Amino acid sequence: MSLQDQFAQAQTDSKNLPERPDNMTLLKIYALFKQGANGDISGERPGFTDMVGRAKYDAWAALKGTSREDAQQQYVDLIAELKD
C-alpha cells in the first residue's frame, strides 16, 4: 500500500478511534494532517479571541519545514498507535 493510500486510510480510521484522544494529541493529529495534506502553513494567525484557532495554527506552524511525506508517515503511525 502506498503512503498516499495509508494516509487516506488513516484519515478514515481517525474518525473511528476506540476513545477520544486528549486535546494535545488532537492538536498533533490536526497539525500532522494539515502538514501532510497541504504542506507548510500560510495565512494570518487567528486573533486573541479565537483560542482554538490559535492553538491549531500554532500546532501546524510548529511543523513548518517538515516534508509532506514525513508528516503523512507520522500521521499514519500516530493513528495506528491510537487504534491499538
What whole-number percentage of the chain has pLDDT above 70?
A: 100
Q: Which range marks the domain in which residue 65 is found? A: 3-83
Number of domains in the chain: 1
What pLDDT is recorded for position 72?
A: 97
**What own/partner pairs with CB < 8 Å and gap ≥ 24 does 11-20 have?**
13/79, 13/80, 13/83, 14/79, 14/82, 17/79, 17/82, 17/83, 18/83
Identify the CATH number of the domain in which residue 67 sits. Answer: 1.20.80.10
List pLDDT tens digits, range 16-55: 999 999 999 999 999 999 999 999 999 999 999 999 999 9
